[in-house]
């Protein structure tokens, strides 16, 4: 393959990554608008039911093969963690500005680096420890514990980031032998089944606007997932990782447009600190390899 062709593939992968993040942030904005209408739990259910429908459509011809896993316990645990991360984050964005929640959720890369060192035995040098410490300082700048603007709701995106990081570590433990569609199938299946059992107790019949928002969550979640899968099939994870921080810009934009939420100077500064630390950790991991 020529250098020009390689560049075209990389550019296409980057574009797909940005499109995926664009869709996911619109999904989050839709969830923020939907939660006050029908509640957080039905909103999370809508997210998982939509994902399950997508996966079933895509893998229907080989469903029997996709449903086979050599690590059922690990698949169940990672699915619970991802569902918990979604529930924490959707609850958080229903209570605090979207830009604040997105910035705190951006701790994922450094938390994953820390967890990989503690539980998977991956190396953790002083510079990476420094990057993790700086990212945590960025989170403290945003939530400002002890100040008048601090709220316990700000801890929910942090809990979401922790659950998502643990989910990622469990996914690494699965190893390359497990089909990615098998993992997608089980995350959708476990979340949909458990939430379907719980949602009748808190169900509120959606109005026309709520049904529209449910459709948007499914649509944006579907397109985002497809774009993400496609991006990682064409480009290396290390190359695409920095573009996930475009989510901070999109989240701030949707918060301002749809919810009249303008991030204050401390939120912007804290988000820049977290993104800077995450990019530094990514740089160290990429160039070390």
58, pLDDT greater than 60: yes
Reported as a single tens digit per residue, the pLDDT across 178-197 is 788 888 889 889 999 999 99
Q: Which residue shows structure tokens 């476990």?
A: 190
User: What's the structural domain count of the chain?
Assistant: 1
Mean pLDDT check: name the lowest of 14-18, 43-47, 128-132, 201-205. 128-132
pLDDT of residue 93: 94
pLDDT of residue 250: 92
pTM: 0.86
pLDDT of residue 2: 65
Closest CA to 162 of 115, 218, 98: 115
Q: Cα dist. 158→31, 86, 142, 230 in Å?
A: 18, 12, 11, 28
pLDDT of residue 168: 83
16, pLDDT greater than 70: yes
Q: How confident is the model at residue 1 (pLDDT cuts 50, 70, 90)?
A: low
146, pLDDT greater than 70: no
Summarize the confidence of residues 74-84 as an average pLDDT. 92
For CA atoms 188, 241, 106, 34, the dihedral sign is negative
pLDDT of residue 143: 80
148, pLDDT greater than 60: no
Residue-range definition of the domain harbouring residue 68 = 3-288
Closest CA to 50 of 32, 70, 24, 75: 24
Element (H, E) at 156: helix 155-174
Summarize the confidence of residues 274-278 as an average pLDDT. 84
| CB 94 within 8 Å of CB 36 | yes
Q: How confident is the model at residue 4 (pLDDT cuts 50, 70, 90)?
A: low
Reported as a single tens digit per residue, the pLDDT across 92-132 is 999 999 989 998 888 887 787 788 777 777 776 777 778 77
Q: How confident is the model at residue 88 (pLDDT cuts 50, 70, 90)?
A: very high
Nearby residues of 136 by Cβ (< 8 Å), 6 or more positions away: 107, 110
Question: What are the structure tokens assigned to 109, written together?
Answer: 């890369």
CA-based angle 208:215:210, to the nearest 5? 30
Nearby residues of 40 by Cβ (< 8 Å), 6 or more positions away: 87, 90, 91, 94
| CB 222 within 8 Å of CB 50 | yes
């Amino acid at each position: 393959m020529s250098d020009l062709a390689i560049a075209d593939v990389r550019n296409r992968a980057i574009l797909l990554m940005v499109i995926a993040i664009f869709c996911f942030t619109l999904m989050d904005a839709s969830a923020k608008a939907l939660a006050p209408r029908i509640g957080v739990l039905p909103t999370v259910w809508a997210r998982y039911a939509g994902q399950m429908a997508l996966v079933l459509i895509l893998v229907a011809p080989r469903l029997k093969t996709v449903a086979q896993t050599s690590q059922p316990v690990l698949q169940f645990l990672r699915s619970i963690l991802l569902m918990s991360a979604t529930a924490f984050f959707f609850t958080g964005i229903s209570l605090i500005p979207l830009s604040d929640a997105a910035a705190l959720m951006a701790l994922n890369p450094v938390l994953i680096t820390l967890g990989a060192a503690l539980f998977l035995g991956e190396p953790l040098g002083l510079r990476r420890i420094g990057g993790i410490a700086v990212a945590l300082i960025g989170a403290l700048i945003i939530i400002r514990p002890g100040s008048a603007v601090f709220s316990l709701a700000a801890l929910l995106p942090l809990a979401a980031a922790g659950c998502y990081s643990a989910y990622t570590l469990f996914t690494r433990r699965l190893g390359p032998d497990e089909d990615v569609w098998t993992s997608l199938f089980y995350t959708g299946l476990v979340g949909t089944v458990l939430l379907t059992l719980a949602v009748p107790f808190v169900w509120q019949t959606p109005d026309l606007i709520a049904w529209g928002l449910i459709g948007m969550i499914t649509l944006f979640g579907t397109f985002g997932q497809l774009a993400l899968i496609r991006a990682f099939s064409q480009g290396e994870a290390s190359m695409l990782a920095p573009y996930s921080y475009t989510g901070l810009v999109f989240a701030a934009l949707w918060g301002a447009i749809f919810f009249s939420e303008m991030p204050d100077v401390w939120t912007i500064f804290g988000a820049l600190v977290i993104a800077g630390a995450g990019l530094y950790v990514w740089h160290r991991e990429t160039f070390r390899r």
